[in-house]
C-alpha cells in the first residue's frame, strides 16, 4: 500500500508584470511514492525545488505557484484525496493537522510569542475538534507532552522562555497532537546546534517508531539523512536525480551530483582535500537543456547537453537519472 | 621564541550584559574570563566553536572593538584596543583586522553594485590616489579569491551565486591587506556544493598571504578540516582548547565529548553511537546563572565539587581543559616532575 503517490508532477511559478511573463520551473517532472512506516529524506541545495514540492503535496498551492501537470494522490486507508482537486474546506476539515502535519524550520514563528504554549495547543485542538470538556483537553495534552518526554512545565511557559531546542520540540508536539499519518519536517534542525539537533531528531525518530506513520524529512544536510532516513531522494534543479535506501545511496551513489555531495562532506578524523563543484546551481527560470546538471558535471557527454535523462530503476528501489548509468546497465 | 608582540592577545576578558528591566533584571556573563593569543610570525586558522548562546559572537564583537570588555584586556600587536580613541587610530587598527560576515546577501545592499563596496573600501582607507589605481587594488583582491573585476563589474548581489558573493565579501576584507580576518559563520548560508570553496579559500589565504583567520562556527566538521587550533566555548567559558587534531580526535572535556559524538557522521553504518539518548537543557538562562561548571547539569561525570566553584584550567597533553576531572591528575604529574 502506498500512502502518497506523486506522478509526473510539474509545478511552476508563473508571474506576469508589465507584459513580461516569467516561468520558474521549480518542480519539473517529479514522481515518487511514500509508504506507511518510513522516514523518507529529501536532500538538495537551496532553490532546487524542495519547498515547492512540499507546498504541492501539502495542498498549499497558491498563485503564483501552479500545478501544471501530474497527480498527487493520498490513500489514508479510510480516506482518499487528490491534492490537486481538493477544496480548501475539505483540506481544512479532514487533512490539515489530522492526517498531514507540518514542522517548520523556525519554531519561534510557529508559536505565538504573547500566549503561553498551552493556549497554542488549545487554539489548534479547538479549530479541528471543538473542545467541549476543558479538563479532558488539559489531561490529554499533558499526557501527550509526557509521552514525548517533555516536562509539563513547558505548557505554562511563553515561547521566549524556552531554549531553541525545546521550542522546536514543542512545535513537533503540536504537529503530532492528532497522530497524523504523514509528518512533513522542513529543515527542522537547521538553525540548531549539533547537540540540540541530535535531541530533536531523536524525538522525531521515536515518534515515528511508536506510531508507525510516515515522516518526510527535508534537509540539505546529508549527514542527518545518513543517521535518520530510511530512504533518500536527491533533488537537483527541480528534478529527482537519484533515490535509494539510505545505505545504498551512501555506499554506492551513482549520479555524479550525489557522489559529489557525499564525497565533499568534511569528517572529523580525516583531513584530505575536499573540492567544490565548479559553477553554481542553475537559475530555474532558464534551466540548462538536457540534463540540468551537465554544465557542472565532470563526466559530461554530448548526449547530456540535449537529451533529458529519465529516472530509471537500476536495481530494486534504486532509481537514477543519468545517461552514464543507463549505458552501464544496458 | 620571538620577542615581537603577539598579533592578538586576549587576556582574561569578561563581558557582562544587564538583561531585563530597570528594576530587577539579571546580569548575564556572555564571555567569562577568556584568554587566548595568536602569534604574529606564524599565521594560523583559529576556530572558536560552540552552540548558539555560547558567547562566540560577543567575543568577535570584542575583537572588532565594537564592544568594551567589563574586565580584562584585548591587545592587538601589543596595544590595548580599548585605548584606541581617535578616528585615525581606529582606521589604522581596522585596516589590520577585517570581518567577514555570515550572510553575504545581507552584507551587500541589493540595490548597489557589489564593486561599489570594494571601491568604497579602497577610498575609506585612502589606498589609492586615482580611480585606475583603485581598480588595480580591487582587481588584485578579487584575483586572490579566484574572481576578477571584469567578472564582478556592473553586477548586483542577486546576479552572483552564494559562493561567489561570499568570495567578494572575503575580497573586500583583503583590500586593506589585513593581518587578521574574523569570519563569523562564513559558510553557514552558502550552498553545500559551494561551501568547500570558501573553506579552502581561508586555507589559501593563510598559506599564501600569511593572513591569520579567526573562524567562528558551530560546524565541527569544517572546523576540523581547516583549522590549526580550536577553542570550544560553553556559556561564556572556553572549556577546552588546543590543536584541532587533539581536541576533536581525543576530546577531554565531557562537553566536547558530547559535541563530537553529536556531529552526525555521513556513514549510515555508524548510526548507533549517535542514536544514544541525551539530556537537553530546558532553558538557556538557567545554565548561565549556574554556579560552578556550567555543564554540571548535563554532565554524565558530574561530582559535588563541580557545583561549588569554577573548575580550573588544566593542561592535559597538548590541550587545556576546564574540568575537575583532570585537576587531580595534574597535581600528580607536577609532583612527579619535580626534582
Cell of B216: 567562528
Compare all CA atoms of chain B with the CA of A44 and give the residue at the minimum distance: B192
Minimal C-alpha gap between A162 and chain B (Å): 5
Minimal C-alpha gap between B20 and chain A (Å): 13
Compare all CA atoms of chain A with the CA of B255 and give the residue at the minimum distance: A195
Minimal C-alpha gap between A123 and chain B (Å): 24
Residue B38, strand partner residues: B8
B192 vs A166, A261, A271: nearest CB: A261
Query: Which of A7-11, A215-219, B25-29, B326-330 has the lowest average pLDDT?
Result: B326-330
Minimal C-alpha gap between A163 and chain B (Å): 5
Residue B83: how many CB atoms within 10 A of its CB? 8
Q: Do B194 and A153 touch (CB under 8 A)?
A: no
Half-sphere exposure for A54 (CA within 13 Å, toward CB): 24
Compare all CA atoms of chain A with the CA of B268 and give the residue at the minimum distance: A226
Q: Do A266 and B260 touch (CB under 8 A)?
A: no
**How far apart (Å, rounded) are the C-alpha atoms in residues B74 and B10?**
5
Cell of B286: 538557567
Minimal C-alpha gap between A283 and chain B (Å): 10
| pLDDT mean over A150-174 | 86
Compare all CA atoms of chain A with the CA of B248 and give the residue at the minimum distance: A268
Give me the pLDDT at residue A37, please. 94
The pTM of this model reads 0.86
Q: Do B280 and A195 touch (CB under 8 A)?
A: yes
Rounded to 10°, the helix A134-147/A117-129 angle is 110
Give me the pLDDT at residue A92, please. 86
Handedness of CA A97, A200, A45, A240 (dihedral sign): negative
Q: In A, which residues are within 8 Å of B266 by CB distance?
A: 222-223, 226, 250, 262, 265, 267
| pLDDT mean over A143-161 | 87
Check: CB of residue B121 under 8 Å from CB of residue B175: yes
Domain B40-56+86-249's class? alpha beta
B227-265: per-residue pLDDT in tens?
A: 999 999 998 899 999 999 999 999 999 999 999 998 888
Q: Is the pLDDT of residue A319 over 90?
A: yes
- Stretch (H or E) spanning A261: helix A256-263
Q: In B, which residues are within 8 Å of A41 by CB distance?
A: none
B222 vs A197, A227, A266: nearest CB: A266
**Percent of chain A whose predicted confidence (pLDDT) is above 90:** 53
**Percent of chain A whose predicted confidence (pLDDT) is above 70:** 98
Minimal C-alpha gap between A298 and chain B (Å): 14
Minimal C-alpha gap between B99 and chain A (Å): 22
| Extents of the domains making up chain B | 40-56+86-249
Give me the pLDDT at residue B286, please. 66
Q: Report CA B159 to chain centroid distance, whole Å.
A: 29
What Å distances lie between residue B245 and A99, A270, B216, B229, B234, CA to CA?
A: 48, 10, 17, 8, 20
Q: Cα-flanking dihedrals φ and ψ of residue A272, to 5°?
A: -65, 155
Q: Do A151 and B282 touch (CB under 8 A)?
A: yes
Compare all CA atoms of chain B with the CA of A246 and give the residue at the minimum distance: B268
Instruction: Give me the helices (H) in B38-148, please.
Output: 56-63, 87-96, 104-107, 114-124, 131-143
**How far apart (Å, rounded) are the C-alpha atoms in residues B26 and B19?**
5
CB contacts < 8 A, A to B, total: 145
DSSP B206: I
Check: CB of residue B59 under 8 Å from CB of residue B31: yes
Residues in chain B where the model's pLDDT stays below 70: 1-3, 20-25, 280-286, 328-339
Q: In A, which residues are within 8 Å of B259 by CB distance?
A: 194-195
Q: Do A202 and B195 touch (CB under 8 A)?
A: no
Q: Do B193 and A162 touch (CB under 8 A)?
A: no
Q: In A, which residues are within 8 Å of B271 by CB distance?
A: 226-227
Give me the pLDDT at residue B282, please. 57
Q: Do B268 and A269 touch (CB under 8 A)?
A: no
Asked whether this complex has an ipTM greater than 0.95, the answer is no
Give one DSSP letter per residue of B267-294, joined into a string: -GGGHHHHTS-----S-HHHHHH-SS-T
Give me the pLDDT at residue B338, please. 39
Q: In B, which residues are within 8 Å of A222 by CB distance?
A: 192, 266
Q: Is A225 exposed, middle or buried (0-12, 13-18, 19+ CB in 10 A)?
A: buried
Compare all CA atoms of chain B with the CA of A158 and give the residue at the minimum distance: B283
Q: In B, which residues are within 8 Å of A195 by CB distance?
A: 51, 258-259, 262, 278, 280
| pLDDT mean over A169-198 | 88
B254-306: per-residue pLDDT in tens?
A: 999 999 998 888 888 888 888 888 776 655 566 777 788 888 888 888 888 88
Residue A64: how many CB atoms within 10 A of its CB? 12
Q: In B, which residues are within 8 Å of A280 by CB distance?
A: 161-164, 191, 194
Give me the pLDDT at residue B285, please. 60
| Average pLDDT score over chain A | 89
Give me the pLDDT at residue B334, please. 44
Give me the pLDDT at residue A107, please. 67
Give me the pLDDT at residue B333, please. 44
Minimal C-alpha gap between A271 and chain B (Å): 5
A244-293: per-residue pLDDT in tens?
A: 999 999 999 999 999 998 988 888 888 888 887 887 788 888 889 999 99
Amino acid at each position: 500500500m502506498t500512502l502518497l503517490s506523486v506522478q509526473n508532477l510539474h509545478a511552476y511559478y508563473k508571474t506576469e508584470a508589465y507584459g513580461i511573463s516569467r516561468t520558474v520551473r521549480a518542480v519539473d517532472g517529479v514522481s515518487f511514492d511514500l509508504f506507511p512506516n518510513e522516514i523518507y529524506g529529501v536532500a538538495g541545495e537551496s532553490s532546487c525545488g524542495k519547498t515547492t514540492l512540499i507546498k504541492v503535496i501539502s495542498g498549499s498551492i497558491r498563485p503564483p505557484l501552479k500545478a501544471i501537470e501530474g497527480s498527487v494522490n493520498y490513500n489514508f486507508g479510510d480516506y482518499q484525496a487528490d491534492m490537486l482537486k481538493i477544496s480548501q474546506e475539505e483540506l481544512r476539515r479532514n487533512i490539515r493537522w489530522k492526517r498531514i502535519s507540518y514542522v517548520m524550520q523556525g519554531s519561534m514563528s510557529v508559536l505565538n510569542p504573547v500566549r503561553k504554549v498551552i493556549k497554542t495547543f488549545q487554539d489548534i485542538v479547538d479549530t479541528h475538534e471543538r473542545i467541549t470538556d476543558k479538563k479532558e483537553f488539559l489531561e490529554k495534552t499533558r499526557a501527550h507532552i509526557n509521552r514525548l518526554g517533555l516536562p509539563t512545565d513547558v505548557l505554562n511557559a511563553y515561547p521566549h522562555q524556552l531554549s531553541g531546542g525545546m521550542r522546536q520540540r514543542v512545535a513537533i508536539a503540536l504537529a503530532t497532537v492528532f497522530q497524523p499519518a504523514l509528518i512533513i519536517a522542513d529543515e527542522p534542525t537547521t538553525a540548531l546546534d549539533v547537540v540540540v539537533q541530535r535531541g530533536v531528531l531523536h524525538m522525531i525518530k521515536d515518534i515515528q517508531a511508536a506510531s508507525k506513520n510516515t515522516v518526510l524529512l527535508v534537509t540539505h544536510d546529508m549527514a542527518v539523512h545518513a543517521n535518520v532516513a530510511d530512504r533518500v531522494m536527491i533533488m537537483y534543479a527541480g528534478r529527482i536525480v537519484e533515490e535509494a535506501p539510505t545505505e545504498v545511496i551512501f555506499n554506492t551513489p551513482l549520479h555524479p551530483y550525489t557522489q559529489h555531495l557525499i564525497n565533499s562532506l568534511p569528517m572529523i578524523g580525516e583531513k584530505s582535500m575536499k573540492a567544490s563543484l565548479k559553477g553554481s546551481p542553475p537559475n530555474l527560470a532558464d534551466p540548462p537543456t538536457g540534463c540540468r546538471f551537465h554544465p557542472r558535471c565532470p563526466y559530461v557527454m554530448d548526449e547530456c547537453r540535449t537529451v533529458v535523462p529519465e529516472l530509471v530503476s537500476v536495481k530494486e528501489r534504486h532509481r537514477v537519472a543519468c545517461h552514464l548509468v543507463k549505458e552501464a546497465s544496458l | 621564541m620571538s620577542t615581537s608582540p603577539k598579533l592578538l592577545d586576549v587576556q582574561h576578558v569578561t563581558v557582562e550584559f544587564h538583561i531585563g528591566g530597570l528594576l530587577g533584571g539579571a546580569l548575564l556573563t556572555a564571555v567569562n574570563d577568556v584568554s587566548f593569543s595568536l602569534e604574529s610570525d606564524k599565521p594560523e586558522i583559529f576556530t572558536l566553536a560552540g552552540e548558539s548562546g555560547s558567547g562566540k559572537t560577543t567575543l568577535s564583537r570584542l575583537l572588532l572593538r565594537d564592544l568594551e570588555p567589563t574586565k580584562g584586556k584585548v591587545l592587538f600587536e601589543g596595544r590595548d584596543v580599548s585605548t584606541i580613541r581617535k578616528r585615525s587610530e581606529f582606521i589604522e587598527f581596522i585596516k589590520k583586522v577585517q570581518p567577514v560576515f555570515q550572510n553575504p546577501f545581507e552584507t551587500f545592499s541589493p540595490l548597489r553594485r557589489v564593486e561599489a563596496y570594494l571601491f568604497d573600501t579602497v577610498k575609506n582607507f585612502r589606498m589609492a590616489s586615482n580611480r585606475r589605481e583603485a581598480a588595480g587594488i580591487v582587481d588584485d583582491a578579487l584575483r586572490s579569491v579566484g574572481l576578477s573585476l571584469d567578472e564582478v563589474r556592473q553586477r548586483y548581489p542577486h546576479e552572483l551565486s552564494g559562493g561567489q558573493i561570499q568570495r567578494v565579501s572575503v575580497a573586500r576584507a583583503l583590500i586593506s591587506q589585513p593581518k587578521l580576518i574574523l569570519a563569523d559563520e562564513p559558510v553557514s548560508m552558502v550552498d553545500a556544493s559551494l561551501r568547500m570553496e570558501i573553506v579552502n579559500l581561508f586555507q589559501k589565504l593563510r598559506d599564501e598571504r600569511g593572513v591569520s583567520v579567526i573562524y567562528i562556527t558551530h560546524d565541527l566538521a569544517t572546523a576540523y578540516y581547516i583549522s590549526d587550533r580550536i577553542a570550544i566555548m560553553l556559556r561564556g567559558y572556553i572549556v577546552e582548547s588546543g590543536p584541532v587534531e587533539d581536541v576533536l580526535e581525543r576530546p577531554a572535556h565531557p562537553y566536547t565529548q558530547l559535541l563530537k559524538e553529536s556531529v552526525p557522521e555521513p556513514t549510515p553504518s555508524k548510526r548507533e553511537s549517535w542514536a544514544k539518548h541525551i539530556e537537553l537543557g530546558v532553558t538557556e538562562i538557567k545554565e548561565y546563572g549556574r554556579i560552578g561548571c556550567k555543564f554540571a547539569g548535563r554532565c554524565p561525570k558530574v561530582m559535588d565539587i563541580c557545583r561549588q566553584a569554577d573548575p580550573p584550567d588544566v593542561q592535559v597533553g597538548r590541550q587545556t581543559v576546564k574540568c575537575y576531572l583532570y585537576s587531580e591528575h595534574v597535581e600528580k604529574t607536577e609532583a612527579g616532575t619535580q626534582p
